[in-house]
Structure 1
Amino acid sequence: MSEESNLQPAAEPTSDASKSSRRNFIKTGSSLLIAGGAMSGSLSMARAAHVFGSDVIKIGLVGCGGRGTGAATQAMNTEGPTKLVAMGDAFGDRLQSCLRGVTSRHADKVDVPQERQFVGFDAYKKVLEQDIDLVILATPPGFRPLHFESAVNAGKHIFMEKPVATDAPGIRRVLAANEIAKEKNLAVAVGLQRHHEPRYVETIKRLHDGAIGDIVFARAYWNSNGVWMNTRDAKQTELEYQMRNWYYFNWLCGDHIVEQHIHNLDVINWLMQGYPTMAEGMGGREVRVGKDSGQIFDHHMIEFTYGEGTKMMSCCRHIPKTWSSVSEHAHGTKGYCDISGAKIFKPNGEVAWEFGNGGGNGHQEEHHDLFAQLRRGEIPNEAEYGAMSTMTAIFGRMATYSGRNLSWDEAFNSQDTLADFDKITSMDTEAPVQPNAEGKPTRVDGSPYPTPIPGKTVKV
């Protein structure tokens, strides 16, 4: 992919409208997307909600990696009868590993004979054709818009992992499909599990009730040593190599600001009850060097602006032997809050309130909540805030990759598409990102792949 595009520098906001809360978009924007034809494919309408009660909820799984294995297991940990009946993945070895993992925990709830084990890029279609009530979507996130739209079309309840896309067109596709999901009474849960942790819920409620006064500044961090890497096998096609190292390629992952830091950004959006209007930042590659370093940065620092001017500092970093923190913080006119620590402080530093121990385990709680709601006949829908928090992370990536001051509207309306997932049909398909000739590095960081250069890169 070229590093060039027609994305233009953002104009400075000059009116109150340009500073309005992103909540206004939620009320009106999704319907406009459908009217504008943002969603490809036709979706049938009219489906009544079903109260499952004590009935068996049949589950299909698309994406059999570590998160898919965890999500399927957590779904079957919920109260009431469940059964995993179909599985699909691009790789057969991953599917078998996942099947062994979930069977070891829930042998009596797994019924996936060979004829309902599907391998390949069309595996998601075959899973959706089965007699299932709910599908778990846990592939690399670049595939999420396509798979989500297809699941809505098939009339299935959905649990999809975050993030829900890797580019702005993907976000718009998810939002448009979700409008149909709501009309069809389909439940949609998104793996931003902090919304289901009592310690977070109670802390945010207290902040909304004015526990520290007006919010004047916020901070969010995901700083750690980094993540896994798989070595290249000479027998692999370029596409297979990238698929097995999806975290390092933007068309699949969106960079770690999107795949990981989204959790922290989502908490600040929840706190602010809206989305940022402006972003500017910096980032780069200090330790991600060499032929196996892919494309993504190893650090991002962004200043986001919300509403009438409240600032949020966002920092995420994958560099060993540096300060590690996965946390969110809010500063107000009457005190300070360590949101992740569920603790509120007075201006003098004394503890005013703390949740105490427990109240976490969100990965499990989100499934307890979803399945309990379905059994009561309730239809939760988390797709909008899932999509808009994903877009916040993409917005930040666009700012760090370009090094420019961007507006939300400019980012959200970007036409830059990282990959056409509808056309990826086999491991012999040409990968959306190609290395330089013979894989030889031509960049200072040693990567053979196109990597961003702030101040020069425009395609983000």
Structure 2
Amino acid sequence: MTQNAGGAKTVRSVASRREFLRRGGKVTLGAVLAGAVVPAVHAGEDNTIRLALIGTGGRGGGAVANALSAPGGPVQLYAMADLKQNRMESSYTSLKNQFGEKVDVPESRRFLGFDAYQKAIDCLQPGDVAMLTAFAYCRPTHLEYAVRKGVNVFMEKSFAADPGGLHRMLRAGEEADKKNLKIAAGLMCRHSTARQEMIARIRDGAMGELQLIRASRMWGGGGIGKRNPNVSELMWQIDHRGAFLWVTSGNMIEMLIHQIDECCWLKDSWPVAAHGLGGRVPRSTDCGQNLDIYAMEYTFADGTKALVNSRSISKSFEDFATYVHGTKCAAQFSGNIHAPTVHAYKDQRIDPANIDWRAAKEPDSPWQAE
């Protein structure tokens, strides 16, 4: 990853870091955030990696906390942007209390409004990192601007709210490649050492040929009531992001993206076909756009199926897990709230008494490793 620190720099120091990381080639965003791979090429050089947080909600603050907690360094939160003053101030106060001097965001670098992302990214130097954790409806615009400005990117899911947005993301990725910029996506399950261990076993043939993958996320009912007349229609919909398809693509993408990605990882390929069903509870008072049930059947090139289901209905059976079935045995690949519940069974029976192998305990959470 290209690394240039923000703030006052000599031309020589900025160029030296750019040249070092250009030669370094394949450097991951996580490694750069950790600071472990960026030596002081010149004595006295400031190698601080500055972050701009765009979207200061819970996951955004958590992502910054993960970055500032990483070994190595130095990493500094340098700018923030959001639509809501109270949310940004709460996030700033919490991070400042936790990390002290690693959070250097005076009021002059805390920006509010729909154009705040531009002002925050403009505070960075080429090679610093924009952390894009606002909702999917604005992600393509934010990513395009970050790439145009020559900064690296960490971005949370979901990545776009519609196919047009996804095409814009892909084009921005191509532009980032041309500039030797790095974009890291918030699919933290890929960083799970327990899951990686299971993937290695599958690739080595321990499960035989994969025949079926099952992923379910079934939870209690939700939904939203009527809008408070004191809140604008626009902000009400953004505040209830999961309920409106234009904001985050709704529950199917927002809630199932990790498990859909797990299915593709298990198969080491993309599906070639997909068929889906959906339904809604009769006489529902939910004012959102989500269906209450989603069921997708993905087909891979060799005919293997992945069945992905979600349900959000009160007083119903709840399940949150991913299972994979091979010709030799079955295995669990993930558990509740993406827990690294990873083990193999003796045969096809999904039963705790039938477990034949367990993955080693993970040293760090996937979010921290990410």
TM range (shorter): 0.7 to 0.9
Structure 2 matches for 1:408-419, cutoff 5 A? Answer: none
**Number of the residue aligned with 2:135:** 140
State whether structure 2 residue 186 is matched by structure 1 residue 191: yes
Correspondence 1:42-441 to 2 at 5 A: 49=21, 52-53=38-39, 55-79=47-71, 80-132=73-125, 133-225=128-220, 232-286=227-281, 289-290=284-285, 293-340=287-334, 341-347=341-347, 350-359=354-363, 361-366=365-370
Shift of 1:294: 1.4
| SS of corresponding position for 1:269 | helix
Give 1:353 deviation, angstroms. 2.0
- CA separation in 1, counterparts of 2:169 and 2:158? 11
Structure 1 SS opposite 2:123 = coil
Aligned residues: 319
Query: 1:74–1:360: structure 2 CA closer, same or farther, 3 Å change rule?
Result: closer
Q: Which residue of 2 aligns with 1:26?
A: none
Deviation at 1:228, TM superposition (A): 8.1
Whether contact under 8 Å (2:54, 2:131) holds in the other structure is yes
- In structure 1, give the amino acid aligned to 2:284: V
Change (3 A) 1:289 1:53: farther
- Are the counterparts in 2 of residues 288 and 297 from structure 1 also a CA contact under 8 Å? no
Distance 1:101 1:225, change over 3 A: farther
Structure 1 unmatched runs, 5+: 1-46, 367-460
Give the deviation of 1:359 after TM superposition. Answer: 5.0
Provide Cα deviations, 1:268-315, integer angstroms capped at 9, x if missing partner.
10111112222222112228932x521111220111111121111111
Shift in Å at residue 233 of structure 1?
Answer: 3.4
RMSD: 2.1
After superposition, give the CA deviation of every residue in 1:207-259 in whole Å (9 maximum; x if it has no partner).
12211111111101112225686973323221111111111110011011101
Contact preservation (8 Å) 1:59, 1:135: yes
TM-score (norm 1): 0.66
Q: Displacement of 1:203 after TM fit?
A: 0.8
**Partners of 1:348 and 1:237 in 2: CA distance:** 53
Name the CA shift for 1:103/1:226 in 2 (closer, same or farther; >3 Å): farther
Residues 137 and 231 of structure 1: is their aligned pair in 2 closer, same or farther, counting only changes over 3 Å?
Answer: farther
Q: CA deviation at 1:194?
A: 0.6
CA shift, 1:131, in A, is: 2.5
* C-alpha distance 102-287 of structure 1, shift in aligned 2 (>3 A): farther
Higher RCO (CA < 8 A, seq sep 6+): 1
CA shift digits 1:72-110 (9 cap, x unpaired): 111111112211110001222221121122112112211
**CA offsets, 1:315-365, max 9 Å, x none?**
112223222222111111111111112111232754332114335611111
Q: Distance in 2 between matches of 1:135 and 1:288?
A: 44
In terms of mean alpha carbon deviation, does 87-96 or 281-290 score higher? 281-290
Greater mean deviation of Cα atoms: 181-190 or 221-230 = 221-230
Which amino acid is the alignment partner of residue 75 of structure 1?
A
TM-score (norm. length: structure 2): 0.81
DSSP-derived class of the 1:106 partner: helix
Q: Which residue of 1 aligns with 2:337?
A: none
Contact 1:160 1:191 in 2 (8 A): yes
Structure 2: any 5+ residue segments left out of the alignment? Answer: 1-17, 23-36, 41-46, 335-340
Q: Is the 8 A contact 1:287 1:319 kept in 2?
A: no
Do 1:287 and 1:298's aligned partners in 2 also have CA atoms closer than 8 Å? no
Contact 2:223 2:243 in 1 (8 A): no
- Identity within the alignment, %: 35
CA distance in 1: counterparts of 2:364 and 2:291, whole angstroms: 30
Give the counterpart letter for 1:306 in structure 2: F
- Distance in 1 (CA, whole Å) between partners of 2:221 and 2:147 is 34
Q: Distance in 1 between matches of 2:169 and 2:215?
A: 25
Contact 1:288 1:298 in 2 (8 A): no
